[in-house]
Amino acid sequence: MSVLKTKLKEYRAISNMKQGELAELVGVRRETIIRLEKGQYVPSLKLAMDIASVFGTTVEELFSFEE
């Protein structure tokens, strides 16, 4: 079964951005960002693209699936 891996926390640290700030930028709740970072939630394409555009990177760079 594939597991979602993200580099969200690293990108947030580089940008010095809090979870709440990122959540507000992409229009979701802080709880959603927390679960994304823990790999407990698979985001919709739109949300993944919005987050990628906040950090100026690509969806593939931020999110990946591992077996």
Partner 1 sequence: MNIRSFFEAENNVKKPKIELHCYHKFAAAAFLMGAFTFLGIALINSKTFVVLAVLLALAAVIELVMTVRFFKMIKGHSIQQEDELARQIMYKASRMTAGVLILSGGIIELIFSLTNGSFTIDSSNVACLLFGIYLFAAGIKSLFFVLLDRVSDGEDE
What residues make contact with partner 1 under the rule CB under 8 A?
A: 18-20, 27-32, 34-35, 41, 43-44, 47
Query: Which residue number, 7 or 35, has a Cβ lying nearer to partner 1?
Result: 35
Residue 67 Cα distances to 52, 56, 58, angstroms: 23, 27, 21
Q: Which is nearer to partner 1, 2 or 44 (CB)?
A: 44
How far apart are alpha carbons 21 and 27 in whole angstroms? 10
Minimum distance from residue 30 beta carbon to partner 1 (Å): 7
Return the C-alpha torsion angle 1, 5, 58, 23, nearest 10: 120
Closest distance of CB 2 from partner 1, Å? 18
